[in-house]
Amino acid sequence: MRPITKLLVANRSEIAIRVFRSAHELGIRTVAIYAHEDRFALHRFKADEAYLVGKPGEPIRSYLDIDGIVALAKAHGVDGIHPGYGFLSENPEFAAACGKAGITFVGPRVELLQTLGDKTAARDLAHKAGVPILAGSAKPVVGHADALKIAKELGWPVILKAAHGGGGRGMRVVRGEDELAVALESAQRESKTAFGSAAVFVEKFIQRARHIEVQLLGDLHGNLVHLFERDCSVQRRHQKVVELAPAPNLDPATRDAICEAAIAIGRTARYENAGTVEFLVDADTGRFYFIEVNPRIQVEHTVTEEITGIDIVRRQLLVAQGHKLSDPQVGLGDQKAIRSMGAALQCRVTTEDPENRFLPDYGRMTAYRSASGMGIRLDAGTAFSGAVVTPYFDSLLVKVTARGLTHQEAAGHIERCLQEFRIRGVKTNIPFLINLVTNPDFLAGNCTTRFIDETPALFDFPIRRDRATRVLEYLADVIVNGNPLVKGRPAAARRQPAPLPDYDRFAPPPAGTRTKLKELGPTKFAAWVREQKRLLITDTTMRDAHQSLLATRMRTHDMLSVADAYARLCSGFFSLEMWGGATFDTSMRFLKECPWDRLLQLRERIPNILFQMLLRASNAVGYTNYPDNIVRAFVKESAASGIDVFRVFDPLNWVPNMRVAIDAVVESGAICEAAVCYTGDVLDPKRTKYSLDYYVKLAKELEKAGAHMLAIKDMAGLCKPFAAGKLVSALRAEIGIPIHFHTHDTSGAQVAAALEAAKSGASVVDAAFASFAGLTSQPNLNALVEAARNTPLDTGLDPEPLRHFSHYWAAVREHYTAFECGMKAPDPDLYLHEMPGGQFTNLLEQAKALGLGDRWEEVCRAYADVNHLVGDIVKVTPTSKSVGDLALLLVTNNMQASDLLTDSRELAFPESVIDLLAGRMGQPPGGFPADVVTRIVRKADIVTGRPGESLAPADFAAAEKKVAEIVGRTASPREVLSWLLYPRVFADFAAHRAKHGDVSVLPTPAFLEGPKPGEELSVDIEPGKTLLIRLLTVGEPHADGTRTVFFELNGQPRSVSVADKSLEAKVQKRPKAVIGDAREVGAPMPGLIVTVAVKPGDVVTKGQKLLSLEAMKMETTVYAERDGRLAEVLVTPGTPVEAGELVARYADA
């Protein structure tokens, strides 16, 4: 007996920790070694003592330094060394050095390592034991010619194997002569890196094989037992991924024969300590062949321990000290007494990206949450939140072992366990493992070594959500760099959530107008509306009110928060105008929200009240004419998604432009509310262009076109109270459909206008809650309700809950302080410039962005002048935008509108202005002034008919393909429509969502300004799933120009690194290869350059090797993708590179 009192593990990470645990249980003091690059690795802290080995910059070599490790062991009184697996575990020189130093080597004796570690000698041993072997070379090949000769004799395909190691390192399948040279060089180099020896041999490759291995354990007294077999057939690149015990569906006679063959080889070799005899079983014939003996502990030893209950490492340590297998401490004296129970399987969770050819990933783990529970065992290395995964070592993160009574039960345990894992900061193969352990063929036990290669379904992954990390990254970016929406603007006046009205959240929503519409249908419903004596109210707070006051910046979050209250307390409203207009564009462009999601989510919460949208006829929700099939598809999808009332208008009141949209709305089964856009003054006899007769004729034409309702769209608030009464009276007398009055309160007179309209026969008026009313918004809803009380127009609405809604919206408005236009009172200039209320704040934002904020009065006057210049047109999106854009151009160039016709300067007119005057938005009454059109529009560009008629139909199939490329999956019809309407805006939005997820779930102050230190955010990412986020602090800048932002997520520390854009000019980085530039060659993955086979000036041919790089022992070769001459080679062996970094450049394209 030679007791071990102090054990050094000459290894790292998971296996080192595994050995420490068994040693501790035996009362043995433990010693760890670590390379400089491993100085933060967990195994260092799990041992009683830990010492640095090797030199910085030599991470692998440090663990292969025999002299250094042995000297260190002697210096610190170590009397036993366990080699683990990999590194020096099969190196006879290491075992000999230990013996020479008087240190017990926990493994086979030197001669065994020499024989079994040499795969060719091991084949001779198996032959001597009477065990069948595969045809192959009798010794390592000496070069390409030798390998080629042997391969031809064996017949293709063959496999190259490292002669002095395993674990899939140094293995390459070669299917033809043309592959041999590169495969041989690569296998030799990988073998040299992993095992310190470049020797490889050639063996016949079996196409459909099962990989079965038998665990042996022998003592120093000639006793030997097996602990049954394991099935390691599920492999990728010859590396085991999942291991099973016992092997499923293995014929009992074959199992017995394999175990007996393993014992025969062990007895022939006089094997001692733990080892594994590996076999290939031909799945087609059932014959088995010896492959090799691994004279060490295996990664997958855990599954054997789970089915037998035997701690293999513990018994390694005992037999190394001289114990017999029959000793009570070992308990393995009788082979017949060794039993197995149930089934076990092990998955290797690695930091490899299965969606990118399993390229290793590395970096800081920002979160690590492991799993446990019934039947689960975890053997982890450096796996914890904050741990850094380096590119120098194996990518194994944690081994997950599950046991159950059956293979299927164990697979169920492991699938549940894998689902519980949360690992952030580095990519892992967990999605792949989940697919694997739930695959029917795997569950049936029908896998061969080709299973992964032949099962493409394993690579069909659900889209990674990782919502918490992406939200944190967004918040961190806002904290460090600011949100461009509010940067430099006044801070929000409020950060607390807005107070909700009291309501019974469990009460079902009462019947409302949508209930009535479903009961009657659009035509009868419209008749019902016209018959009502009470005044019906549309609330515009969720659309036109904030579009007019806050530049359309209100977020879905603030609408959804109060949606349930609306459904239960506001069922008496006619409708909620909550979609369309500018909201479609701005929600994607600025708020990074999907407009369709807003509609669908609000519809789900408010099922009982009509939803209304503003539709710009042939402009849909855009600023230009679209092909007719886009308009039809958009209307159809909007109605299906929850819109009940479409207010259809044309920016020039040109009915031919409205017919396609009107027909589409009628066909959809929704209510078509056709609008006449009001401008001019029906009370002024001098303004004859837009007379009372003009509006009556227009209304009759719209009724005849199929409209169910008529809207008076007074987008600027020009319809004075008595004008409203006169207009509504005339229309009511001439048409048979109900009238809906819409106005803006810019002048301050429009509560009176709404009441006059109602008194004269308007069935519905638009209004906004008091806190979002007035100025450029709609009249005060609360005031209108009170004004109509106890009169024939009484709305029947309870003013008390409406008061609380106004309080809610007042608090919400304080979140958007940055977007307030600064307008403090009604504007008498309205009757001069006639600017639409919805445009006022948006145009002011544009003016400020151009540095014209202080010249706003000039902009307003220029707006009025431009309107008269182009013929006194109806001004509403998009025509109003054209007028505004030209006004800004004039003020920027210090010009008057009258100067345009006399100034000879060549001006770059805005596209919106050209579109308007070219007729692409339609035709106004009397057309545009010819001299203005001549000055601005080229003759060839003029459109005389309906613009939609001249536009080719959109190709929806091609659009669907394009959008699928943008979103990286099958595109939905809504996404296709969003792209067709706003191609660039949608692409930017999709990129933002891919990077940061759905940021609409964030509270508004956090979205706009980020959280404040110590502030806790409650973020509902889906029903029943809430993230609690608290900002702790922001770190100092790093050398690479990043900062680390520290959070608590659900009470656990999380950190996110984000580039500080203010430091970009100070940080030097290697350039990235430009995608699509044929001259530039980028690194395919992060890692270290191993070899460079070319130099500047070399002429290369397509397919020629340029260089190779390695990450986590995985080597990748970069080949020339085309013929050409290299101008630059920017790396040398040992250079670290990031994925995509420029490594070489051709002289020309």
Distance CA 708, CA 706 (A): 6
Q: Nearest 5 degrees, angle CA 654-CA 658-CA 659?
A: 120
> What type of residue sits at position 1060?
D
Which conformational region is residue 269 in: left (phi greater than 0), alpha (psi within -120 to 50 degrees), or beta?
alpha
Structure tokens at 7: 């054990």
- Is residue 944 packed enough to be buried (19+ CB in 10 Å), middle (13-18) or exposed (0-12)? exposed
User: Can you name the residues that pair with 677 across neighbouring β-strands?
Assistant: 713
Closest CA to 621 of 699, 552, 518, 534: 552
Q: Is cis: bond before 246, omega within 30 of 0?
A: yes
Neighbours of 185 (CB within 10 A): 18
Question: Residue holding tokens 């999808």?
Answer: 637
Distance CA 250, CA 340 (A): 15
User: Can you name the residues that pair with 838 across neighbouring β-strands?
Assistant: none
For 1137, the 3-state DSSP assignment is strand
End-to-end CA distance of the chain: 73
Does residue 990 contact residue 966 with C-beta atoms inside 8 Å?
Answer: yes
Question: Diameter of the chain by CA atoms?
Answer: 121
Does residue 1099 contact residue 173 with C-beta atoms inside 8 Å?
Answer: no
- Where helices occur in 118-162 by DSSP H, the ranges are 119-128, 144-154
Does residue 997 contact residue 594 with C-beta atoms inside 8 Å?
Answer: no
Distance CA 23, CA 7 (A): 8
Distance CA 194, CA 109 (A): 22
Strands 104-105 and 158-162: unpaired
Distance of CA 1055 to the CA centre of its chain: 18
Structure tokens at 67: 């002299």
Does residue 856 contact residue 887 with C-beta atoms inside 8 Å?
Answer: no
The dihedrals phi and psi of 577, each to the nearest 5 degrees, come to -85, 105
Distance of CA 835 to the CA centre of its chain: 42
Distance of CA 398 to the CA centre of its chain: 24
Which residues fall within 8 angstroms of residue 797, CB to CB, at 6 or more apart? Answer: 537, 570, 572, 573, 785
Structure tokens at 272: 């001692």
Does residue 84 contact residue 167 with C-beta atoms inside 8 Å?
Answer: no
> 522-552 burial, b if ≥16 CB within 10 A, otherwise e?
beebbebbbeeebbbbbbbbbbbbbbbbbbb
Handedness of CA 566, 568, 573, 577 (dihedral sign): positive
- Determine whether 533 is an active site residue: no
Which 8-state DSSP code applies to residue 149?
H
Which conformational region is residue 375 in: left (phi greater than 0), alpha (psi within -120 to 50 degrees), or beta?
left
For 80, the 3-state DSSP assignment is strand
Closest CA to 1075 of 1141, 1024, 1148: 1141
Closest CA to 376 of 354, 346, 349, 397: 346
Does residue 979 contact residue 968 with C-beta atoms inside 8 Å?
Answer: no
Per annotation, catalytic residue among 46, 119, 240, 592:
240
Q: Is cis: bond before 157, omega within 30 of 0?
A: yes
For the annotated catalytic residues, the residue numbers are 240
